Amino acid sequence: MKRRTSSLSYRTVDPADQQRLTNLMHFEIWVHRHLDWRSALEWIGYEPYLIAEKDGDLVAALACPADTQEAAWIRLFASSSDISPSEAWNYLWPVAYQLILRIKAGPVSAIALHNWFGKLMEESGFGVVNHVVMLQWEPQNLPSGSKMQSMTIRDMRAEDLGAIESLDHQAFLPVWQNSRDSLELAFKQASIARVVEKRGQILAYQLSTATQQGGHLARLATHPDFQGLGIGYSLVRDLLLQFKRRGASRVTVNTQQDNAASFALYTKAGFTKTGDSYPVYQYPPR
């Protein structure tokens, strides 16, 4: 796909564009990158992923492929100093959205980590549907223990991923679900990955990554039939104990503003809000 309008032209990204894309992401100011298990470059080969060129130079990029059928996210938007962010967005977004409609990927979501990007979303008709709120835990807030009868916490194994994918899709709304491929990437990147098991059935899982301060709880899910039994709390406490043994000074987590159950769990485990909150946009707005 390649089209031209005035001095701008757009086309689908190609693996040969990787170095120019890297330069755009690392040396320009107007860059939005989704918090993802894949890097922006690793989404090359998935659609839609468009670049805009001006006189042969790469001046903008927009990637919003779907991980699952109903989970299209703005994975990357970047604009060089040779073009304004609004011009780049208004040029690429209509094309990308038509491609999304063609593959029937459902609504498109984005977490605005920067005010300028949120403004672009609002000007394009995106609506705020939620907020992602950040919380943190420090070692002096170690939560008390609780017993889980006939249940065990163990390390996650690669052969668990099929059951974890099923659990993940039952525990989360479609927009927040992860595909099997993403879960495999998450498992490979995780510093600590654990599951709660009872008689061979996985009831909950968590995936956490290492940070300079300690760690980040990236994913936590409990099967809907076993929520409210303290399983998630026990899994979080197990995680915090492991990070404390590693000398962590801080563990972070984020959750949706309207997720009262998650807030209750993390508060009980000793997490407190950092004050950071980021709007979640969706198009079309619900």
Q: What is the CATH number of the domain that holds 17?
A: 3.40.630.30
Number of structural domains the chain divides into: 2
The SS3 of residue 237 is: helix
Mean pLDDT for the stretch of residues 90-101: 95
Amino acid identity of 104? K
Q: Are residues 92 and 141 in the same domain?
A: no
Mean pLDDT in residue range 123-148: 88
Do residues 219 and 109 both lie within one domain?
Answer: no
Which residue, 230, 239, 241, 238, is CA-closest to 265?
Answer: 230
Return the closest-CA partner of residue 206 out of 175, 174, 173, 171.
171
Q: What is the mean pLDDT of the chain?
A: 93
Return the closest-CA partner of residue 162 out of 191, 187, 198: 187
Rounded to whole angstroms, the Cα distance separating 77 from 227 reads 37
161 and 106 part of one domain? no
Residue 232 belongs to some domain of the structure: yes
For 159-190, how does the pLDDT look when each residue is reduced to its tens digit (9 = 90+)?
999 999 999 999 999 999 999 999 999 999 99
Is 285 inside a domain boundary?
A: no
DSSP-derived 3-state class of residue 274: strand
Per residue in 46-70, pLDDT (tens digit) is: 999 999 999 999 999 999 999 987 7
Note whether 165 and 228 are same-domain residues: yes
48 belongs to a structural domain: yes
H/E element, 205:
strand 201-210
Query: Which DSSP helix (H) or strand (E) runs through 152?
Result: strand 152-155
pLDDT at 63: 98
The verdict on 233 and 151 lying in the same domain is yes
Dist. CA 90–CA 88, nearest whole Å: 6
152 and 268, same domain (yes or no):
yes
Q: Contact, 24 vs 33, CB < 8 A? A: no
Q: Of 78, 100, 124, which closes a domain?
A: 124
Answer yes or no: do 120 and 139 share one domain. no
β-strand pairing of 72-73 with 108-111 = parallel
**43 and 19 co-located in one domain:** yes
Q: What is the mean pLDDT of residues 88-110?
A: 92
**Structural domain for 221, as ranges:** 133-278
Is the distance from CB of 166 to CB of 225 less than 8 angstroms?
no
Q: Which of 97, 124, 151 is the last residue of a domain?
A: 124
